[in-house]
Structure 1
Amino acid sequence: MANKSSEVLNYFKLELLIERSLVSLRHLFKNRYALFNNGQVWNDSPTCGNNYVTNVLVKNKKINLTRVQKTSVSNGNSDEWDVSTLTALLLYIDRSKTLSTNEIQQLDQEDKLLQQLRGIRNKVTHSPKKSVDDVQFNQLWTDLAAILIAFGDVNTELEKQKDDSVFESPKQPVNEENMKDALRLNSLGTQAHKDGKYSEAVTFFTKATILPDVSNHDRATFYSNMAASRLALHEQQKASFIKFESLDAKDERYLALQDAKQARNLWPTWWKVHFRVGKVRAALDEHKKAINSLERAFALDHTKNEIQEALDESRIILSRQSRPKYLDSTEFTKAIPEILNELQRKFGTDPEMVRKYHSLIEKIDSSRADVLKGHKYALGDIDVKQDYEQAAKYFAKAVDQGNAEGMYNLARLTDYGLGVKRDHNLALKLLEQAAEQPPQNPICEQFPNVGVAESEHALGVRYFEGIAVRKDLSVAAYWYQRATDHGSAMAANNLGSMYLDGLAVDRDLEKAEELFVLGARRGDPLAMMTLAELLLSKNNFQMAKIWYDRACESGNVVAQEKRDQFAKQIEKRQQLISESSGNELEEVNVMQYFMGLFQAKHAPSVISDRSYLKDYTMLSEHAKRGSITAKQLCDAVGHFARALNILLCFERLAEEQEDTFVHELSQCYRIENIVAQIPCQLHKRVSEVVDRVLYRCTKESNSVASQLDEDVRVCYVTLHINSYELIDEFLPLCKQKYPKSIYFFLTSGAVNGFLRRPEVGLYNINNGLEIEPDNCELLYHKAVLLRHLGRDIHEAITAYQKFLSVAPKDHRKVPEVYYEMAICYMLGYTPDLAIDRMMKLYMEGKQAEKLQLPCFLPYKSENIAYLKPMFDMEFIQNIRSVPDNNRKQHLTDPHRVEIIKKHREWEGKALQEKHISGYTVHSYTLKPRVKQQTAKSLIGLNPITLREIDPRKDQVYNGYVLSVTIIEKPYSWIPSIHLVIEDENFDCERMLVYGFPKKQGEYLISELYTIGSKMHIINPYLRIGANDMKPTIRVDEFSSIVMQNESERILNMCRYCCEANASKTCSRCQQAQYCSKECQIMDWKLYKHKLICQTK
């Protein structure tokens, strides 16, 4: 008991109080059963239970029970039913139609109490941290007690449950002889379990549990052991090919669950009983409930590796189950011949040619040869039987040679426990090793290094879900971004979701849509569906339908099930728009805009693309001019630079160096934590150093305060700021040991704010203000928490004004404070009183932005999004149902960037071939799957745009014409002319031209297919590349290209923004033209102009 914090004990006291309601709920169920069934008695028999399932549950669609819950009801014994089962039966069962008015009123009142009980139960039970602070505990206890008293419990008895003594083994008579016999039986059962005689073990443990006058804790041990033996017996039966098509009350897993629950009831604060329940739940494939029980076990004892391993296992399985199988690339479901035949059907690749190619690769790359053999054994082939153990051996050989694909696939097998021992930590190391490899294939640089992007995405999932690592959304975002940059479709979708919800990144709807488009184009069915829903919300009905249809065709089961519903949504919105006047439509669009703002799920934004280290010179200049904010940032940068320098200069740190590192980092955090943008590749090392120092301090001076101990605690809470429950549990001791350290009170206030506990947060902030009344950060957080409480808006406004009176004018929160004060007036006052004040505050905020340091511009504010539609008429006019095409928005589109960069890499090599003697670019092409044909005329052809062409389907669009502009210069024409084209929507794609007379090649690239030239492509063919599997507009019928009139050509096109009449020229190559210096800089940075920039 001494090792358990008061917050953890609070949680388990509430759990016990909830369990206490079972007596009342069973009594209530039996009374209602009699009331609804003409006085029949529920006798807890299987007959009664089976009849109830057949005659009631099967017919009532409102009652949604799990397989285990249905089995417990069928068994009939209401003592086995949990709170969730009983509340479901009581709330959703059909009432008798012969009830009196008084009976109906009583049932309604009882149902109201049941709803409240269920809500509190869900809030407590599903809390991830399994600890409750005193303020929240007292409120929940009061609410629960009121419900139980209404159901007939006694208040004086309930008050006794608040005492810690409820966790102690009750004083009970113990028969020494029975105790000795029980321990003997337990020892025999334990030995039988070790010998694999699980049925005998169950018999011994059963005899031990039924002996009278044995202590509760010992009896809990016997039940826990019996549950373990029943699980092992089930596995033994399964290995003997005994089928378990359905779950019944005789199933060893069901019996094990009852045993584990009995153990839990007897000793609720013993970690092992919750661990046992969790293991049984996992065996029953109830991994969400398993995680809940295992988190309870972990809260009671953080040191047990078996708890963490079981948690990792259930989390990874739950993560897989939450992804439809069509999205799970880790499934070993298709044999190699089946895969090759599918590639031939979709893209025209000859299976025999693929096998010959593999044979060639095996001769020049031994590690790739091992990977291919690994795939053969993992999937099965014509001459190879599936054998995971052999697959793992070959992947391991590839790993030893540094092959990323081998690392990734061995990690997959290790995660599943296929052919090797299941080990999520080892899988994690393999994924990290693969992610360290170069993203391009070491031998064929034009191709990706398979295994790198896949591993980066897998690491993102692990950090997002908390599988074998501490859950960290900022690190998840980092890995998703890397995987997206290297071609992952699923990572693009996941990162898009984070931007959509504002999880660990600044909320950015445009960025989210950009990423969903990228993921969808790359073939992710979930991204296709999400994009369709996003486009529907913007009233872009045509593209919404196109992408939804593509999601269905790609195998998105959820999309297929909801297809009719989505079609009705489109029809409904189209009807609304057609019946609305211009003003009404504008109101609808503004309303939808606001609804989008309220749908975000915010988490602290800790990812930033700004390096304050690079801003040091600028900050120093402003500091010299008297800027207090700049001076603070300079000081913070200095501490961070010294900390970073220690890590970069030494591979291994001595204890003294670790202590210095921690001190410098903590000082940076105290002054301005946004400065410490730790490179993600160093994040793990930083965490390891902090953990080691924290362990030393805890071990050496558990009760003694020290500067190092305080420093390392500052570092720990800041590094894990996204793990709210963890930090909330960690901070009380910090505040107790260092009652004068405002940083801990500030962090506690912020964390409780994110946990939706503003009262608790405000209490901590006020404690900090007693130490330092004029601290800007504390004053700002106080105002924010008062605003969220919403009880006294005037008090919140006063707190904001106090902040403004002490904060420097260029403090980064000053503009935000003006905007938040305006929000206060909007929420707390009538429009006639608020509007003028809001307008004034909005304008003051805009003026305050002008005083911000350059590193905080352009200014970012979540709150300004609510105010702009009220005071910025130009902004109102820009909220349209389908936004106008805007080329500027497309310039940074990830697909556009990738297309242009890849084109320049290819053409850069062609330039080297022209200018460097002996340098040759080798390329080849495969015969296309289908043949493109031209038409005699453009007359009668339907126009089509790039976004209407499915980027994942190898197809000729007969009867259509695609009109485009060439935006990149070709430098070679063997075996084809490589172009980059842009359509009327400013979407772009790569284009390959074949079938032209070879003698005309030089003329075509230098005179005809020049930058700015426009063309029509008749019957365009979207070809999926046989090697890179990427889309290309391919022309095999040369006559299908119809060049537009020279007068239509964009003259002197800017190489970055594609606008006409660019007046500036690259001084080095004398070819690239730009309309401004900014365009030249962006072309150099974003599109990598240096790849093709050759001195004339």
Structure 2
Amino acid sequence: MNMNLSKNKAETSSARFEDLKSRANECYKRNELHKSAQLYNQVLLIDNLSNEQKAIVHSNRSLVYLKLYEAINRRDRDFLFKSLVDAEQANELNPKWCKTWARLGQIYAELNEYEKCIHNYTKALELEPSNEHVKNLLAQAKTLNFEQKRLAHFDDSYAPKTTEERTEEEFKKIADRLGQENTDRFKHTFERTKQDLIKSDKSLEYVWLGHEHRDGSSTCKQSYELAAKYYAKAAKMDNAEAMYNLALMHKHGNGVKLDFELAINLFKQAASQPAFKRLIGFADAPNVGVAESEHMLGLLYHQGIYVAKNIEQAVKYYERAVEHGSAHAANNLGLIFMNGDGVDMDLERAQVLFLYSQKKGSLEAITNLVFVYLAKGDPEQALLWHNRDLKASPILATQRHEQIMMEISDLRARKSQFDKELVESLINLKCDLNEDPCYPHSIRSQPYDEKMLAEKAEQGSATAKKMLDAIRLFNQALDQFSQNKGADLASIICKMAQALQIESLVCLRPMDVQNKLLKQLEKVVDENLGKKRCELDLNARICLMYFNMSKYAQNLQFINKSIEKYPHCTRMYELKASMHIFLKQFKMGIKQYDYVLSKEPHNSLSTYLRAAALKNSSCFKDALKDYERFLSICPSDARKVPEAHYSIGFCKPYQNNIYLA
């Protein structure tokens, strides 16, 4: 009897669920949104609903609240937050449903929280990889996130202007230069030339009509739909400018379906056109739309928008666009070489590209010239371009001003100290040739004061104790080696390797001992080639790596060979990372530090050096995290603490800025 009652009750609940849900859906279709929401409220009061049924109702009501928010022109966010709560509830009830993840993406897009938006769209695509609608929404979110990060809204050159306004601006420039009478004659000539061009190429009429309807004017009402139709007509006639503008409309979903696949195909069609063409009265005029499409394709591959991120493809399209006169492509290509993003870092090439971009009118290039001169260690040129940046982009440049000036002051101080030390070293070399020189492994030219270190260690300095232990152990081994005191070679090399790994900075060697030591270490390695792993060979290799730190490429090759024999020696990976950094191969260096830190999470030195590499790669947000972690795990008196605090101050203003065009 009880079983029958339960069955009847379940059937009644299911029938009521279907009835109310169907009525709510019908109200939604008729745009009766408030009534639809009320009916969904009633559905949720039904007993014995399954999680799947609840997820459907919360998802549908979330959509209703989102439409209510849009219906009031997005003035009241209460509906938006109700939509978010429902979407989260639906997602919790059915986390394997693509629709709930996509709905969360839509809501976070409305909230301008694009990182969360991208995360949710990505989750949705993991569940339905072939969902084109979500693919397009994800690509759109990445585009908007990119625009938001590069702070394009502060750049007047990106402010929307109608074709009519741009034309009037050009006429005003001519009037200022040649006078109004000459300008009137120029206007007449311009209109006559325009008509002649249309007669010779009908597609140009459709392009200009597309521009007029896209922007609106004093004589034409703005209409994306009509603009798209005119661009489509001209695109069918192989007009590159029309293809480019129609592609942009599909990329943004303006008046046409949001469709990145179609947009990319149109960009590629435009990019395949000749870069120059003959027009009446013009020899080899730029074919508008070609360079612009090449730049856009470079940007899409560079940022991984809709297509997989592919730096090789990005560079190819950027280079073509630069060749055809694109200032924005030159700026973005310069950034790739400045940051070593998928290519070998090349500051000289980056500088040339930024200068070209700046001459062509790019404001971003002015900002990036400041950074490239800082990276090159040229404070005076950095200051020159920073002052120009303050005039060109006062809001953003002022925000960066304090940190830029700190970096310039620091560079000046370091340059002054370097010049002073260089002069002193030349004088010492000239005046005292008989003195035993110290092998230049360390930045210090004189041994550390053991007495001072001992005092600091007794006072509780962990850094001083570490340095003191390294000095005593290394000097003991060095003394035994140079005076042949009877200690076996394996013991000497073991002590040296230990000391170098404790603190290599303090392990200084006289040149005559250095040369003998190198020969002995190389002999040990040669004798063990092709043989089984042994402690003596391992320690000899580690010593050679530290002693040859100034021979970057040669040492890197030796380290790679040694890792093949000793793949579990973490210290070798740390030294390999250093070689990559010295060679300005930051991404490869960071990869090695990642491995070291996966084995030694509390390795404060590797944490600091990884942060420095990230900073030099302009990955300021990640660098900040590493600098802060370094400070949390290192001794309070660690040598790199002041530099870490300074670097945190330097990175903070830039952590969300990307100066791409």
TM-score by length of 2: 0.60
1:398-455 Cα offsets, whole Å, 9 max, x none, are: 2121111111111222222333333222222211111111111243443221111111
2:114 maps to 287
Are the structure 2 counterparts of residues 478 and 428 from structure 1 closer, same or farther at C-alpha, using a change threshold of 3 Å? same
Pairing 1:519–2:231 present: no
1:506-543 Cα offsets, whole Å, 9 max, x none, are: 33232222222222222221121111122134343443
Cα distance in 2 for partners of 1:829, 1:843 equals 11
Contact 1:441 1:450 (8 Å CA) reproduced: no
Contact 1:174 1:215 (8 Å CA) reproduced: no
TM-fit CA distance, 1:318: 1.9
SS in 1 for 2:285: coil
2:241 maps to 405
Are the structure 2 counterparts of residues 494 and 866 from structure 1 closer, same or farther at C-alpha, using a change threshold of 3 Å? closer
TM-fit CA distance, 1:201: 1.7
Cα distance in 1 for partners of 2:295, 2:580 equals 32
SS in 2 for 1:214: coil
Are the structure 2 counterparts of residues 555 and 336 from structure 1 closer, same or farther at C-alpha, using a change threshold of 3 Å? farther
Candidates 202, 210, 220, aligned match of 1:384: 220
Candidates 375, 385, 401, aligned match of 2:211: 375
Contact 2:549 2:555 (8 Å CA) reproduced: no
1:477 maps to 315
1:309 maps to 136
SS in 1 for 2:286: coil
TM-fit CA distance, 1:456: 1.0
Contact 1:526 1:556 (8 Å CA) reproduced: no
AA aligned to 2:21 is: N
2:29 maps to 194
Superposed counterparts of 1:302-451, under 5 Å: 302-325=129-152, 333-344=160-171, 348=177, 350=183, 352=187, 354-443=190-279, 444-451=282-289
Superposed counterparts of 1:722-761, under 5 Å: none
TM-fit CA distance, 1:571: 4.2
2:83 maps to 256
Give 1 or 2: higher helix fraction.
2
Are the structure 2 counterparts of residues 550 and 344 from structure 1 closer, same or farther at C-alpha, using a change threshold of 3 Å? farther
1:459 maps to 297
1:620-671 Cα offsets, whole Å, 9 max, x none, are: xxxxxxxxxxxxxxxxxxxxxxxxxxxxxxxxxxxxxxxxxxxxxxxxxxxx
Instruction: Extract unaligned runs of 5+ from structure 1.
Output: 1-172, 595-789, 792-796, 807-821, 849-860, 870-1096
Candidates 537, 542, 546, aligned match of 1:834: 546
AA aligned to 1:842 is: Q
Contact 2:153 2:159 (8 Å CA) reproduced: no
SS in 1 for 2:276: coil
Superposed counterparts of 1:647-666, under 5 Å: none
SS in 1 for 2:325: coil
Are the structure 2 counterparts of residues 380 and 276 from structure 1 closer, same or farther at C-alpha, using a change threshold of 3 Å? closer
Are the structure 2 counterparts of residues 537 and 424 from structure 1 closer, same or farther at C-alpha, using a change threshold of 3 Å? closer
Pairing 1:213–2:48 present: yes
1:205-233 Cα offsets, whole Å, 9 max, x none, are: 12112323211121011101111122122
1:181 maps to 16
Cα distance in 1 for partners of 2:411, 2:546 equals 34
SS in 2 for 1:447: strand
TM-fit CA distance, 1:280: 1.7
AA aligned to 2:365 is: A
1:24-52 Cα offsets, whole Å, 9 max, x none, are: xxxxxxxxxxxxxxxxxxxxxxxxxxxxx
2:378 maps to 540
Are the structure 2 counterparts of residues 571 and 844 from structure 1 closer, same or farther at C-alpha, using a change threshold of 3 Å? closer
Are the structure 2 counterparts of residues 258 and 583 from structure 1 closer, same or farther at C-alpha, using a change threshold of 3 Å? same
Instruction: Extract unaligned runs of 5+ from structure 2.
Output: 1-7, 426-439, 444-500, 503-521, 532-536, 561-575, 585-661
1:727 maps to none
CA RMSD of aligned residues (A): 4.1
TM-fit CA distance, 1:825: 8.4
TM-fit CA distance, 1:580: 5.7
TM-fit CA distance, 1:327: 8.6
Superposed counterparts of 1:1070-1089, under 5 Å: none
Cα distance in 2 for partners of 1:492, 1:198 equals 50
Superposed counterparts of 1:930-1079, under 5 Å: none
Cα distance in 2 for partners of 1:276, 1:258 equals 11
TM-score by length of 1: 0.37
Candidates 562, 587, 594, aligned match of 2:400: 562
TM-fit CA distance, 1:294: 1.3
Cα distance in 1 for partners of 2:145, 2:283 equals 37
Contact 1:327 1:525 (8 Å CA) reproduced: no
Are the structure 2 counterparts of residues 338 and 277 from structure 1 closer, same or farther at C-alpha, using a change threshold of 3 Å? same
Contact 1:492 1:515 (8 Å CA) reproduced: yes
1:510 maps to 348
Pairing 1:265–2:92 present: yes
Contact 2:65 2:79 (8 Å CA) reproduced: yes
Candidates 314, 329, 337, aligned match of 1:499: 337
1:530 maps to 368
AA aligned to 2:114 is: H
Contact 2:155 2:393 (8 Å CA) reproduced: no
Contact 1:332 1:378 (8 Å CA) reproduced: no
SS in 2 for 1:553: helix
Cα distance in 1 for partners of 2:552, 2:38 equals 80
1:664-693 Cα offsets, whole Å, 9 max, x none, are: xxxxxxxxxxxxxxxxxxxxxxxxxxxxxx
Are the structure 2 counterparts of residues 420 and 583 from structure 1 closer, same or farther at C-alpha, using a change threshold of 3 Å? same
Pairing 1:236–2:71 present: yes
Cα distance in 1 for partners of 2:168, 2:383 equals 30
Contact 1:330 1:412 (8 Å CA) reproduced: no
AA aligned to 2:225 is: E
Cα distance in 1 for partners of 2:144, 2:582 equals 44
Contact 2:278 2:284 (8 Å CA) reproduced: no
Contact 1:453 1:487 (8 Å CA) reproduced: yes
1:112 maps to none
Q: Which has the higher contact order (CA 8 A, sep 6+)?
A: 2
AA aligned to 1:187 is: S
TM-fit CA distance, 1:180: 2.5
Contact 1:825 1:838 (8 Å CA) reproduced: no
Are the structure 2 counterparts of residues 302 and 357 from structure 1 closer, same or farther at C-alpha, using a change threshold of 3 Å? same
Overall identity of the aligned pairs, in %: 29
Are the structure 2 counterparts of residues 428 and 580 from structure 1 closer, same or farther at C-alpha, using a change threshold of 3 Å? closer
Pairing 1:223–2:58 present: yes
SS in 1 for 2:72: helix
Are the structure 2 counterparts of residues 459 and 866 from structure 1 closer, same or farther at C-alpha, using a change threshold of 3 Å? closer
TM-fit CA distance, 1:328: 8.1
Contact 2:250 2:262 (8 Å CA) reproduced: yes
AA aligned to 2:369 is: L
Contact 2:552 2:579 (8 Å CA) reproduced: no
